[in-house]
């Protein structure tokens, strides 16, 4: 039985939200980025967050959003964690924590060992770090591209803060990713979709089962 935490990200329907919660997801991610196929309106997000409240941690995923936008999400959705998935500086992460009174997860894009250096700056202010693959040059979205990287880069990494492995995970490879990286938390989005932006309840259940057996 694995004790690895799981975040199912980019949920947008009640059916798939319920599937994720019933399968035992520890965190659920709601996407607030209009260019993403997983973007949800504030009213939909509020309804989905109410389903999850008390059953899983609610993560609001934003990309270089201004403080007004973040405050609006806080007011209407009341997430437990803001995931900052853009080019936000460490100072911005600290400001979000103080002003929104939530935990902060900072996404860091990596493809080689040197990319981990910047993670140390964020580790001083963020509650969580999320390591995702660098997006393709032509991508309009910074995450959820279904790209994997060398998971062994994270082996024995100690930042003094918990970190999450993201990027290219699916039911068939998540156990291997956990083994190679030593991570205690994983994040999946495109790997549990039947088509771009459309989550599949069966794939969510399969992913959760694969993690539990890892």
Which positions are annotated as active-site residues? Answer: 9, 132
DSSP 96-110: HHHHHTSEEEEEEEE
User: Among 9, 4, 2, which Cα is nearest to 204's?
Assistant: 9
CB 191 within 8 A of CB 207: yes
CB 209 within 8 A of CB 203: no
User: Among 161, 153, 212, 164, which Cα is nearest to 188's?
Assistant: 164
């Amino acid at each position: 039985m694995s004790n690895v935490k799981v975040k199912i990200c980019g949920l947008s329907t009640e059916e798939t939200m319920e599937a994720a919660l019933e399968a035992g997801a520890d965190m659920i991610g709601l996407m607030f980025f209009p260019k993403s196929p997983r973007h949800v309106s504030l009213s939909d997000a509020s309804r989905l967050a109410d389903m999850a409240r008390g059953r899983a941690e609610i993560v609001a995923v934003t990309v270089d959003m201004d403080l007004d936008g973040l405050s609006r999400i806080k007011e209407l959705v009341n997430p437990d964690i803001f995931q900052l998935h853009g080019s936000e500086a460490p100072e911005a992460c600290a400001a979000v924590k103080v002003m929104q009174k939530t935990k902060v997860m900072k996404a860091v894009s990596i493809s080689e060992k040197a990319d981990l250096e910047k993670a140390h700056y964020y580790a001083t202010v963020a509650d969580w770090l999320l390591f995702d693959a660098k997006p393709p040059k032509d991508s309009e979205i910074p995450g959820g591209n279904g790209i994997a990287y060398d998971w062994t880069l994270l082996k024995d990494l100690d930042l003094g803060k918990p970190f999450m492995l993201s990027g290219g995970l699916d039911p068939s490879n998540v156990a291997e990713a956990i083994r190679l990286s030593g991570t205690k938390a994983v994040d999946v989005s495109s790997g549990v979709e039947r088509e771009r932006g459309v989550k599949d309840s069966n794939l969510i259940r399969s992913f959760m089962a694969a993690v539990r057996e890892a």
